[in-house]
């Protein structure tokens, strides 16, 4: 029941933000709205399953303790660990379900939902340079932007390689996309960034306030809007993307370089790869880490429910929301650092699992001993 409640609440936010506006503007029919809501359900289950398990555990064991049933069970010779074994097994089963939803079902449904809404909205600028995905459709160029708000870009990375060993890597805090409708071209303007140009193992960093890239012909990229962004890729697609991106920037030949130039060139290649692959690694680890949230929430929820010793539903829901906020705050921080390899954001997403499971194990051990 708690999973259904959270599913409804999370769906309501998406419906009010996107689907309802399309219905009001008569851009979507009721059947299309129903299809969109159905596609959203697996996506919100990523969050609803752990939240529902935590809330149910807090409410169940809080009432169990408040009604003195736990005392009666202990008096009959049954330990707390024996009592909660089915609940722990249920949480592990939900972890398996979460893994299937997080890594396969939810990304595919999210992609289908995004394409459905995109066809209705027809936002041309967002189609030209989608956020959160690597664009490799222009020969010799790779683009990535964390945000695209109607052509205003944030956290932009651009990689350009030529037929020789020359390459350019550009990092920019902001960017602007201009669309030439007559020639069907886009021009990218970058602001407040750094350019690293490498040639024969030599790299020269250049700090710039504005950098204009040459116009790109959109006719070369007909499938640009069809590729899902990183957050909407399945686990298998992310691994394929990672292997694909890791080949970027590999020089054709390093035999003509001196040993010093070779060491410098290899360091630059590793640095470029880390910058490009960090967002992919983050999403891979995020999908797997999310799958263990049910188990960590259960380990914490059982002893907390016993300690709170309250029957009121609002108390249990309040504690659940606080724990959920703590858990997902780590994910939000890691996502904000997804383009900063020096902070290892793909490892930060594992911290709440380790924290909740460690704290839950200690509290459960104390509760079993009656401390």
pTM (2 d.p.): 0.66
Tokens of 322: 């606080």
- Over residues 72-100, mean pLDDT: 84
Give the pair of three-digit tokens for residue 140.
């010799």
At residue 190, the pLDDT reads: 92
| Summary mean pLDDT of the chain | 78
Share of the chain above pLDDT 90, in %: 10
Between residues 199 and 85, which one has the greater pLDDT? 85
Q: How far apart are CA 337 and CA 315, in angstroms?
A: 34
Whether 221 has a pLDDT exceeding 60, the answer reads: no
pLDDT bracket for residue 218 (50, 70, 90): low
Q: Is the pLDDT of residue 272 over 60?
A: no
Whether residue 351 has pLDDT greater than 90 = yes
- 120: nearest Cα among 218, 14, 33: 33
Q: Tell me what pLDDT residue 133 has.
A: 76
Q: Tell me, what's the pLDDT at 274?
A: 61
pLDDT (average), residues 261-270: 51
Give Cβ neighbours of residue 249 (< 8 Å, ≥ 6 apart): 159, 161, 167, 169, 269, 272, 273, 276
Please answer whether residues 179 and 162 qualify as being in contact, where contact means their C-beta atoms are separated by less than 8 angstroms: no
Distance between CA 119 and CA 160 in Å, rounded?
A: 31
Rg over alpha carbons for the chain, rounded to the nearest Å, is 25
**What's the rounded Cα separation, in Å, for the pair 353 and 295?**
9
- DSSP character at residue 27: S
Kindly report which listed range (124-128, 167-171, 245-249, 344-348) carries the lowest average pLDDT score.
124-128
Q: Rounded CA gap, 361 and 363, in Å?
A: 6
Q: Which is higher by pLDDT, 16 or 168?
A: 168
| Residue spans per domain, the chain | 2-122+285-368, 130-277
pLDDT of residue 173: 92
Which tokens go with 222?
A: 């007909």
Q: Which of 105, 98, 7, 16 lies closest to 55, judged by CA? A: 7
CA atoms of 275 and 307, how far apart (whole Å): 46
DSSP state, residue 309: -
Strand ranges inside the chain, DSSP E? 141-149, 152-161, 167-180, 185-199, 202-212, 216-217
Q: Which tens digits make up the pLDDT trace of 13-35?
A: 767 677 776 676 566 678 887 88
């Amino acid at each position: 029941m708690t999973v259904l409640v959270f599913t409804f609440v999370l769906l309501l936010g998406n419906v009010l933000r996107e689907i309802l506006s399309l219905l009001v503007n008569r851009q979507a029919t009721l059947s299309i709205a129903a299809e969109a809501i159905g596609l959203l359900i697996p996506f919100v289950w990523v969050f609803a399953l752990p939240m529902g398990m935590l809330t149910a555990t807090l409410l169940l064991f809080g009432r169990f303790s408040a009604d003195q049933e736990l005392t009666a069970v202990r008096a009959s010779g049954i330990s707390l660990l024996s009592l909660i074994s089915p609940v722990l097994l249920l949480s592990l089963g939900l972890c398996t379900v979460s893994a299937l939803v997080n890594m396969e079902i939810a990304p595919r449904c999210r992609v289908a939902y995004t394409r459905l809404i995109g066809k209705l909205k027809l936002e041309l600028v967002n189609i030209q340079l989608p956020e959160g995905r690597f664009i490799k459709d222009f020969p010799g160029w790779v683009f990535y932007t964390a945000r695209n708000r109607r052509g205003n870009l944030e956290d932009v990375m651009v990689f350009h390689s030529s037929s020789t060993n020359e390459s350019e890597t550009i990092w920019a805090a902001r960017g602007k996309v201009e669309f030439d409708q007559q020639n069907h071209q886009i021009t990218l303007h970058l602001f407040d960034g750094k350019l690293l140009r490498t040639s024969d193992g030599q790299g020269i960093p250049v700090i710039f306030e504005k950098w204009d890239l040459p116009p790109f012909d959109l006719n070369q990229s007909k499938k640009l809007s069809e590729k899902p962004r990183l957050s909407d890729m399945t686990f298998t697609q992310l691994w394929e993307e990672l292997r694909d991106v890791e080949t970027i920037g590999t020089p054709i030949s390093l035999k003509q370089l001196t040993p010093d130039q070779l060491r410098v060139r290899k360091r630059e290649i590793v640095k470029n790869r880390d910058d490009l692959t960090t967002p992919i690694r983050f999403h891979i680890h995020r999908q797997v880490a999310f799958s263990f949230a049910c188990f960590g929430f259960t380990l914490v929820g059982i002893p907390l429910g016993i300690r709170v010793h309250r029957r009121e539903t609002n108390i249990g829901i309040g504690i659940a929301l606080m724990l959920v906020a703590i858990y997902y705050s780590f994910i939000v921080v890691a996502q904000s650092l997804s383009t900063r390899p020096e902070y290892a954001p793909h490892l930060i997403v594992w911290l709440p699992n380790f924290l909740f499971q460690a704290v839950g194990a200690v509290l459960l051990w104390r509760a079993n001993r009656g401390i």
